[in-house]
Chains A and B, each alone.
Chain A
Amino acid sequence: MERDLIAAGFGGQGVMMFGTLLAQGTTDATDKQVTYFPSYGAEMRGGTANCYVAISDDAIGAPVMDQVDDLVIFNDASLEKFIGKLKKGGTLFLNTSIVKTRPDRDDITIVEAPVTEMALEMGNAKVLNIIMLGVYVGYSQVIDKEVILKAIEHKIGAKRPQLVPLNNEAFEKGLEIGKAARK
Chain B
Amino acid sequence: MARIFMKGCEANAESAVRAGCRFFAGYPITPQNEIPEYFARRLPEVGGNFVQGESEVASVNMLYGSAQTGTRSMSSSSSTGISLYSEGISFMASARIPAVVVNVVRGGPGIGAIQPAQQDYLQATKASGNGGFRMIVLAPSTVQECVDMVYEAFDLAERDDNPVLILADGVLGTMMEPVELPEMKSDEEVAALKAKYYEKAIVGHPITDRKLGVPGSVGTGQEIRNIEAAAMYKTWDKDIRCEEYMTEDAEIILASYGISARISKAAVKDLRAEGIKAGLIRPITVSPFPYDVFKNLDFDRVKGILDVEMSIPAQMKWDVEYAVQDRLPIHECLRSGGQIMTKEKVMEEAHALVKEVL
Contact = CB atoms under 8 A, between A and B. Distances in A.
**A, B co-complexed:** yes
Given A24-B5, A35-B177, A62-B266, A41 B344 contact: no
A157 interface: no
A170 interface: no
Nearest to A64: B340
Nearest to A53: B176
A59 B269 CA distance: 11
Given A27-B5, A28-B5, A41-B115, A62 B174 contact: no
A65 B3 CA distance: 24
A33 B264 CA distance: 18
A166 B56 CA distance: 46
A61 B171 contact: no
A11 B169 CA distance: 25
B241 interface: no
Contact of A23 (B170, B176, B341): B176
A35 B340 CA distance: 15
A125 B31 CA distance: 31
B342 A64 contact: yes
For chain B, the bracket of interface size reads 20 to 34
Contact of A66 (B170, B259, B344): B344
Contact of A34 (B177, B262, B264): B177
A78 B85 CA distance: 39
Nearest to B5: A27
B5 A34 contact: yes
Most chain A CB inside 10 Å of its own CB: which residue of B4, B340, B341 = B340
Contacts of B265: 59, 61
Contacts of B267: 61
A67 B229 CA distance: 49
B80 to A, nearest CB: 17
A41 B5 CA distance: 22
Contact of B266 (A28, A37, A61): A61
Contacts of B344: 65-67
Interface of A: 20, 23-24, 27-28, 33-38, 40-41, 59-67
Given A34-B176, A35-B175, 9 more contacts: A24-B176, A34-B177, A36-B176, A38-B174, A40-B170, A61-B266, A61-B267, A62-B266, A62-B342
Interface of B: 3-5, 30-31, 114-115, 170-171, 174-178, 259, 262-267, 269, 340-345
The 7 closest A-B pairs by CB, nearest first: A61-B266, A66-B344, A27-B5, A66-B342, A36-B176, A62-B263, A27-B178
